[in-house]
Each structure stands twice: as C-alpha cells, then as structure tokens.
A and B are shown apart, each in its own frame.
Chain A
Amino acid sequence: MSGFCIAVNACKSEQQIRYEQFVISGKNLYENHCANCHGKNGEGLRNLYPALTSSSKLGETAYLTCLIQNGSTGKEVNMPANPALYAIDIAQVITYLNDRWGEKKITETEEVAKVKC
C-alpha cells in the first residue's frame, strides 16, 4: 500500500506539487487572516460577514487581490486591509479559496503582483 502511494506521488508533476503547496500555505493564511469573520468553512456570519462558498468573484484575481490587500470601506461593514500580506501570500489565499469553492487551478504570484489597485 505504501509502495503504491510512493509510486503515485512520484508520478505527480512538479506543477501539481506546487499547486498543493499553494493550497496548504493558503489554508494557513486563510485561517489566520480571514476565518475569524468568514468562517473556517467559508460560511460567513449571518448577514454581517458574507459567505465565500457561493461567491461569483472567486475567478476575479484583480478584484480579490485589491480587496484582500486594501480591505473595503464605504459599505456598512468594513473589511480590514491586510498590509502584512505579500503578493505570494495573496496568490496562495486566492488559490486556496478556489480550491475549496471555485476552480481548482493555481493563481500565480506574478498574476497578483501585476495588479494595480
């Protein structure tokens, strides 16, 4: 059985391994920076904090990057900015969000870094 696992793992492409690394790091970041309000399972909190599970914005990298980086004001409930997160962190968070509730594909650091907010 373990031999089989090793064999399967060995077959994983480098890309697949990198994707999984992004998802795992993204999960940690999500739990530290996002889960308090949006919930461990993206369920949100009633009408106070939006659920992420059925968001139509998960594919919009530029929108998500600016939202995570700068937060949002002007609505009744503000979202705090996350100045401590680098482009790679944001890319990992977005990859994680999509892994769980969107399309299972990596969001590259470069895609995030080139976004102008």
Chain B
Amino acid sequence: MKKAGIFILGLFLLACGRQNRELPYLGPHEVNAAGDSVYHSIPDFSFVNQDGDTLTQAAVAGKVYVADFFFSTCPTICPLMKTQMLRIYDKFKGNDSLMILSHSINPRYDTPEVLKKYREKLGVHSDQWQFLTGTQTDVYKLAQNSYLTSALEDSSAVDEGGFIHSGAFVLIDKDRHIRAIYDGTKEKEVDKLMADIERLLHSR
C-alpha cells in the first residue's frame, strides 16, 4: 500500500515535471469545427534579404527560428540585441534546423546593400541568419499582428533614432507557432532562449 502511494506520488511528480518543461503556445487560440484548439501561427510572408533575394516562409519550413526587429542605424538597444543574437548564431552555427530572421523596421534606409554590409561587419556569413527588408507597412504589420511585438516610426523619439521597437526575440517552432518571447538585450534571458531552442529542436 505504502509502495503504491509512493509510486502514484512519483507519477504525479513526473507529470508535473513534464508539464513544466513544455513551452506554451502564445497568442490567441481558436477552436475549430472539430472542437480542436488551433494555435496562433505566423502567416505566409515575403521579404527581400541582404542579397536581394526574395525570402518566404518556405525558408523556415520545418525549422525552429528566432525573429527580431531592428534597424542598422539604431543607437540604443540594437547593438545589445545583436551582441546577444551573435551568441545564438555562434552556438547553433552549422545546425541547419535553426534559423534567425532579423527584420529591418527602417526599410527606406536599410536596403539590401546596407544590410549586406551590416551583416558582413558582424561577421555573419551563413544563410542561417537572414537580414530582411520590405515595405514598412508589411514589416510593422508582421511585427504587431504576427509576432505580437511592436515596431513603429516616431520622429519624436530622437534618442532612439526615430523609431520605437521592442527588443524582443521571438521563438517560433517547426509548425510556425510562437512558443516564447524573450528580452533580447539581456544575457540571462538569452541563456534561457538557447536552452529552449535545444528543447524545441529535440521535440518530435
């Protein structure tokens, strides 16, 4: 009897432990006609990368990826974000199952040529890390509606370089669901992000 009690307690602990390790699905949930939960997912997209090539959702199909929003002339949080993103890049370099998409929120200035130079100066040469530009409307809509983060032009934000955006790193799973959002300016948050990437890479 005592043994059975311990066994059941053990099962409970195991179950709780599992639950804690599972990342949640972020964003609005819907219930479809069959009664199943449908999680928020990143819709199809099309942007131009640093080489002038069109990049769509096909590039991240079946992959885990991290998305962020920045602009090349940003004097405030972008350098901190890029320092942290480089840690992720360095750690997962060579692992094609992980990609990074950095979207410029100042596409008027950040042309593919500008992004190409910026990327080179960061020492990024792998296709795993793409720098994207497009129309401003598209990128703002993508940030706010798809990735649940913020990006806005604000000429009064002089110290910020004329734009307001969050320093978020958004973690997307192989099925285009948002699984977590981190502060990309903080080393500790990014430590956690890297552990969560491993977890998603090894799931299913």
Q: Is B152 an interface residue (CB 8 A)?
A: no
Within 8 A of A (CB), among B58-117: 73, 75-77, 79-80, 82-83, 86, 117
> Once bound together, how far apart are the Cα atoms of A36 and B75, in whole Å?
7
Q: Is A37 an interface residue (CB 8 A)?
A: yes
B residues near A39, Cβ cutoff 8 Å: 83
Looking at the complex, which one of A36, A46, A78 makes contact with B122 (CB distance below 8 Å)? A46
Q: A76-B117, A77-B121 are in contact. Are A45 and B75 (CB under 8 A)?
A: no
> Once bound together, how far apart are the Cα atoms of A11 and B138, in whole Å?
65
Per DSSP, are chain B's interface residues mostly helix, strand or loop, or mixed? helix
Residue contact A36 to B123, C-beta cutoff 8 Å: no
Looking at the complex, which one of A37, A46, A47, A48 makes contact with B75 (CB distance below 8 Å)? A37
Residue contact A46 to B73, C-beta cutoff 8 Å: no
Residue contact A78 to B77, C-beta cutoff 8 Å: no
Q: Is B118 an interface residue (CB 8 A)?
A: yes
Q: Count of A-B contacts with CB under 8 A?
A: 32
Within 8 A of B (CB), among A60-81: 76-78, 80
B residues near A45, Cβ cutoff 8 Å: 79, 82-83, 122
B residues near A49, Cβ cutoff 8 Å: 79
Q: How far is the CB of B194 from chain A (nearest CB, A)?
A: 19
Interface size on A, residues (CB 8 A): 12
Kindly report which residue of chain A lies nearest to residue B78, judged by CB atoms: A36
> Once bound together, how far apart are the Cα atoms of A76 and B77, in whole Å?
20
> Once bound together, how far apart are the Cα atoms of A47 and B73, in whole Å?
15
One digit per residue, 1 when the CB lies within 8 angstroms of any chain B CB and 0 when it does not, for chain A 75-108 equals 0111010000000000000000000000000000
7 sampled A-B residue pairs with Cβ under 8 A:
A36-B76, A45-B82, A46-B86, A47-B121, A48-B118, A77-B121, A80-B75
Q: Which residues of B line the A interface, CB within 8 A?
A: 73, 75-77, 79-80, 82-83, 86, 117-118, 120-123, 161
Q: Which residues of A line the B interface, CB within 8 A?
A: 36-37, 39, 45-49, 76-78, 80
Given contacts A47-B121, A76-B117, 20 further A-B contacts (CB under 8 A): A36-B76, A36-B77, A36-B79, A37-B75, A45-B79, A45-B82, A45-B122, A46-B86, A46-B121, A47-B120, A47-B122, A48-B79, A48-B82, A48-B121, A48-B122, A76-B121, A77-B121, A78-B73, A80-B75, A80-B161
